[in-house]
Amino acid sequence: MTPTRPPRDRALVRRVAGVAAVVAVGVALLGPRPGGQTGGHALDPVLYELSFPEPEHRWMQVEVTVGGLPAEPLSMRMSTASPGRYARHAFAKNVFEVRAFDGEGNELDPVRSEMARWDVAGHDGTVRFTYKVFGDRVDGTYLGIDVTHAHLNMPASLMWGVGLERRPATVRFEPPAGHDWQVATQLYPSDDPLTFTAPNLEYLLDSPAELSAFVERNFTVADPANADHAPTFRLALHHDGTDAELDRFAGDIERMVTEMVTVFGEFPSFETGRYTFIVDALPTASGDAMEHRNSAVLASRAALRTDHRRLLGSVSHEFFHVWNVERIRPRSLEPFDFEDVNPSGELWLAEGFTNYYGVLILQRAGLADLGNTLGRFVSTIDTVRLGPGRQFRSAVDMSRMAPFTDAASAFDRTNWGNLFISYYTWGETLGLGLDLLLRVRGARGPNDEDAGARAVTLDDYMQLLWQRFGRPGGAVPGVVDRPYTQADLRTALAELTGDRAFADDFFDRYVEGHEVIDYAPLFERAGLVLRPRAPGQTWLGSPSLRFDRGGARIVAPVLFGSPLYDAGLERDDMLVSIDGQTLSSAGRLDAVLGDLDDGARVSVVYSRRGERRTTQLTVVADPTLELVPLEQLDGRPTPEQQRFRDDWLGSKAGL
């Protein structure tokens, strides 16, 4: 292991501070910057120097230099939360070899007063704080380093000083010797391609970075609201594929961006004039995606050529967050707490509506097959309407469960299959349902007095939220001045429709209540039929099973109220036979169930902890659904149905 560099002499400290001050002036020129803070000077940036002496051992050297400090001890913290994640993460567990020095180079004693806090006393107004941090996970949350790249999520990488949150920061990257790495990040650039700045802590910790010999593509998309505004989009891809694969991926992203901006009618004002997609498609990566204010991180352990479609879905979701969450932001997440969990009752809209639009935009942009899109919609509907958790919690309550479920880790077993429905999924069905309800509500027949008038849609609702809460922006980069509340969302829907009763009914029954929207008549208006997926097939309760020679082991909690639950079976039990028929595969189970009638009462043999038992079970008809276009049923949509479908699923950008 390479030892920590010795204390610098005073001349070197003065030179580094001078460079940092110059860069800080650049921050002021790039955009608005918050004022001074207690115990500091407005133009004293915090200087971060990041180096990778031994990337093969997967650790990074961090040096933090800060001056203009008051006499009291400096408290350095490591975050326990990360933007876009809602659970607690113990990033400090990977920190080691912590040291501190004053402005004269004298070594100080950093005291670990809490698990993620080090206090430095006895300094002379300047502190150089150094540490190493290990990182071996490439995703949207952690730090990942190897000989091919360094992938940084800042809360997992950088400590910060209490009371210095409003200071600008300068970040200098030093690639390993012999490695020609470049940097992709949303941080503010400088004249030096390895030096970047951030106007405050909020922006710094929300700015991931990729250092590698990545390949990139850049394109611009015209703003439909301003002919003089055409932001640049940068795709930085670390992978082992071909240029042709990259070109196709970049072209599809450009198509998606062009379509998505039509929902809101304009692009946000990106602080640096550019948005960056950071993509790692490597066998060493973990599948993940994460939004940030002016960038997104996407990770895949599969090659781009094989994971192209899934990655496009992630891009669509994360880029919609540019408006929804990053700027149209719930008050429960603003400001973001870097030292605690971040619960929010509005994730059904923040994440769920984003999920819906992630699917819808790919369809509108011609990047998805209609059958796959309809299959996705009906799958989410089934998850919500059949999920036992709906009887215990509303979509708002499920949103508040995020700190327990969003990449949170625990060793004890849970019963989430019965008690939790993802706010992503439930919110997606609410976005789908509200869009169709609005369209059906405003649709008029050919003989209506206002025939031809455009129906209000979910696009209009999102535009209203954008104009009211997102577009006003904030006086400080990375901060939202007008976050919304749940009551604001209800009021906005009432104002959009001019119908308070409609808005109250939607929120009371479906968002804050436990009811499921009746989708069949809504889909019918688009020439789509919602019907049983497997008529004549019976059902046990969709258990998760693992088949072997002994039968089918139940490997997840049995759903409340299902035939298996009512028969007294539970997770870890082994199904041996049903109605005298042995079970050796999923196909064999389907065949057995296909021979039984709805309501049939049959004998079930199962094994529990090695003891063979017999019980009686009543099968029921398979309740799952499918969504089918009339064209596949030897029918044809009427002109009104086709127009409704095209207005809903067709391109708004003319693609």
Q: Is the CB of residue 73 less than 8 Å from the CB of residue 82?
A: no
pLDDT in tens, 566-588: 999 999 999 999 999 999 899 99
Structure tokens at 75: 């408290």
CA dihedral 117, 121, 123, 127 (to 10 degrees): 0
Contact between 13 and 65 under an 8 Å Cβ cutoff? The reply is yes
Helix or strand run (H / E) with residue 95: strand 95-102
> What confidence score (pLDDT) does residue 549 get?
82
CB 404 within 8 A of CB 374: no
Pick the range with the lowest mean pLDDT from 3-12, 356-365, 585-594.
3-12
Burial class (CB within 10 angstroms; exposed 0-12, middle 13-18, buried 19+) of 621? middle
Rounded-to-integer distance, Cα 404 and Cα 393, Å: 14
Asked whether residue 35 carries a pLDDT value surpassing 50, the answer given is no
Amino acid in the structure at residue 221: V
pLDDT digits (tens, 9 = 90+) for 50-82: 999 999 999 999 999 999 999 999 999 999 999
Helices 304-320 + 243-264 axis angle, to 10: 20
**In terms of Cα–Cα distance, which of 145, 224, 213 is closest to 183?**
213
* Structure confidence at residue 264 (pLDDT): 98
Q: What is the Cα–Cα distance from 293 to 616, expressed in whole angstroms?
A: 56
> Domain limits of the chain?
10-211, 216-333, 347-530, 538-621
Question: Looking at residues 334-341, what average pLDDT do you find?
Answer: 96
Tokens of 97: 């070899």
Burial readout 493-528 (b: 16 or more C-beta within 10 A, e: otherwise) = bbebbeeeebbeebbeebbbeeebbebeebbebbbb
pLDDT surpassing 80 at residue 2: no
Does the pLDDT value for residue 322 go beyond 50? yes
* Residue 567 contacts residue 604 (beta carbons within 8 Å): yes
pLDDT, greater one: 333 or 443: 333
Query: Is the backbone of residue 113 left (phi > 0), alpha (psi -120 to 50) or beta?
Result: alpha
Please state, in angstroms and rounded to a whole number, the distance separating the CA atoms of residues 235 and 549. 49
Question: What 3 state SS string does 33-79 have?
Answer: CCCCCCCCCCCCCEEEEEECCCHHHCEEEEEEEECCCCCCCEEEEEC
Q: Give the pLDDT band (50/70/90) at residue 410.
A: confident
Residue 453 is predicted with a pLDDT of 61
**pLDDT band at 20; cut points 50, 70, 90:** very low
Radius of gyration of the chain from Cα atoms? 28
Q: Answer whether residue 36 shows pLDDT above 70.
A: no
Per-residue pLDDT at 38 exceeds 80: no
Q: What tens digit of pLDDT does each residue of 606-635 get?
A: 999 999 999 999 999 999 999 999 999 999
Question: What amino acid occupies position 504?
Answer: D
Q: Are 259 and 362 in contact (CB under 8 A)?
A: no
The predicted pLDDT at position 370 comes to 97
- The C-alpha atoms of residue 79 and residue 96 are separated, in whole angstroms, by 15
6-20, 358-372, 469-483, 635-649: the lowest-pLDDT one: 6-20
Confidence of residue 443 (pLDDT cuts 50, 70, 90): low
The torsion angles phi and psi of 152, rounded to 5 degrees, stand at: -110, 120
Cα–Cα distance for residue pair 185/176, rounded to 1 Å: 18
> Are 158 and 209 contacting, i.e. CB atoms less than 8 angstroms apart?
no
| Phi, psi dihedral angles at 361 (to 5 degrees) | -65, -40
Q: Which contacts qualify for 578-586: CB closer than 8 Å, 24 or more apart?
A: 578/602, 578/603, 578/604, 578/617, 579/603, 582/551, 583/547, 583/551, 583/552, 584/547, 584/549, 584/551, 585/547, 586/545, 586/547
pLDDT category at 43 given cuts 50, 70, 90 is low
Q: Which of 582, 538, 532 has the alpha carbon at shortest distance from 564?
A: 538
3-class secondary structure, 215 = strand
| CA atoms of 564 and 541, how far apart (whole Å) | 6
Question: Per CATH, is 216-333 categorized as 1.20.1290.10?
Answer: no
Q: How far is 490 from 485, CA to CA, in rounded Å?
A: 9
- Residue 138 is classified by DSSP as B
592, with CB counted inside 10 A (0-12, 13-18, 19+), is: buried
CATH of domain 10-211: 2.60.40.3650
Nearest to 32 by CA among 416, 336, 478, 453: 478
Q: Regarding predicted confidence, which is higher, 211 or 7? A: 211
Cα 316 from Cα 362, distance rounded (Å): 7
CA 299 – CA 290 distance, rounded (Å): 9
Better-scored residue on pLDDT, 454 or 368: 368
Specify whether the CB–CB gap between 33 and 158 falls below 8 A. no
pLDDT band at 442 (very low <50, low <70, confident <90, very high): confident
Q: 538-621 — its CATH code?
A: 2.30.42.10
Buried b (16+ CB within 10 A) or exposed e, 357-391: bbbbbbbbbebbeeeebbebbbbbbbbbbbbbbbe
Asked whether 442 and 455 are in contact (CB, 8 A), the reply is yes
What whole-number distance in Å separates Cα of residue 463 and Cα of residue 324? 10
Instruction: Report residue 407's pLDDT band, with 50, 70 and 90 as the boundaries.
Output: confident
Give the long-range contacts of residues 406-415, CB within 8 A, separation 24 or more: 406/85, 406/86, 406/87, 407/85, 407/87, 407/89, 407/141, 408/87, 408/88, 415/557
pLDDT at 41 over 60: no
